[in-house]
Copies of this chain bind each other. A is one copy, B any other.
Amino acid sequence: MPTLKDVAKASGVSVMTVSNVVNGRPRVSEATRQRVLAAVEELGYQVNLTARSLRAGRSGTIALSIPRVDHPYFAELAAAVTDALQASGRHLVVEQTGASREGELSALSQARLQMYDGVLLSVVGLKESEVARLHSDMPLVLLGEKPMPLERDHVMLGNREGARLATAHLIERGARRVAIVGGTPKSGNRGMVGMRTAGWRDAHAEVGLVPDERLILPPDHFAMAESRATARAAVDAGLDFDGVFAVTDQVAIGVIAGLHDRGLRVPDDVQVVGFDDLDVSEHLVPGLTTIDPRVDLVVAESLRLLEGRMSGVESAAEHIVTPVRLVVRGTTR
């Protein structure tokens, strides 16, 4: 693998001149430039980014750490970040944390961080207190649906508002008993599940209803198979419900399958609303009514904050809640 030195030797100039040519800096005579470029071509020289990063202290790369890429919401987030980053000429790598404390800590280890100019971390496994304890001065913006320390920038969806919109829509379309699948009965839960359950309560309160606590159904894990099982079990147990707010689209897909397994039709017997507006949700039959999380806004805000941190100017941390919107399709009447 040829180095600057090799190119310098081959073209009879100093390494510095080669470096200048390679980096397109001015103040190099045309003749020299041509000679150097010829040697670069000839030897197949490519800059060693490791060395450059070490020297420059920057790598031109930012990292996005998400639980898993095979969770469609995060995949769509990652793709959106990639697209948004095209413009700035930066490079993105995606790290997977497995949604675990350990994975997220590892993604944040100074060691790894030093390979990146900045990090967007989607926090799922770490507790707020654990995040607070990190005293990294690396450019870092937190994403995710749970409270975060005030000292760090954080971008979060309008979880509660989205859940309220979804549930209110079900009630407005005539559902009288709206279950929440993936909710929690614990009022102390301040994470995504807690916020979305709160929105479900809000929608009831708005119209003077008191929701039946028995309509709060698991799972805690938002997989399609578990959600499907939950729906079947609810029907089998004789639970009376005619609407479902599923805390994610994946849960909604599982619920719809489970209802179908028990001979119930959507939206005729039970109406369903999800949350995430996955790409696939539009093309289900019937199309899934859901909450569009406006990932574009999440990404725009996150990158704005990260750019700020990377630029090095000191400023107070921001905590942003991005707006969401209801998308009505066929799973509600």
Contacts and interface: CB of A to CB of B under 8 A. Distances in A.
30 contacts: A46-B110, A48-B54, A48-B111, A49-B111, A49-B114, A49-B115, A50-B50, A50-B59, A50-B114, A54-B54, A63-B93, A68-B82, A69-B69, A69-B75, A70-B75, A70-B279, A72-B72, A78-B94, A92-B95, A92-B96, A93-B94, A94-B94, A224-B283, A225-B282, A228-B283, A257-B283, A257-B284, A257-B285, A257-B287, A284-B284
A95 B164 CA distance: 37
Interface string A280-319: 1011110100000000000000000000000000000000
A95 B95 CA distance: 9
A233 interface: no
A6 interface: no
A280 B288 CA distance: 14
Interface in A208-239: 224-225, 228
A20 interface: no
Contact of A285 (B48, B70, B260): B260
B110 A82 contact: no
Nearest 4 Cβ contacts at the A-B interface: A70-B79, A46-B110, A94-B94, A93-B93
Contacts of A75: 69-70, 72, 75
A48 B284 CA distance: 48
A25 interface: no
Contact of A69 (B1, B94, B284): B94
Interface of A: 1, 44, 46-51, 53-54, 59, 63, 68-70, 72, 75-76, 78-79, 82, 91-96, 98, 109-112, 114-115, 135, 137, 224-225, 228, 253-254, 256-257, 260, 279-280, 282-285, 287
Contact of A225 (B110, B137, B225, B283): B283
A284 B287 CA distance: 12
Contacts of A44: 110, 135
A76 B70 CA distance: 5
Nearest to A59: B50
A56 to B, nearest CB: 10
Contacts of A54: 48, 50-51, 54
Nearest to A223: B279
Contacts of A78: 69-70, 94, 96
A48 B114 contact: yes
Contacts of A70: 72, 75-76, 78-79, 279
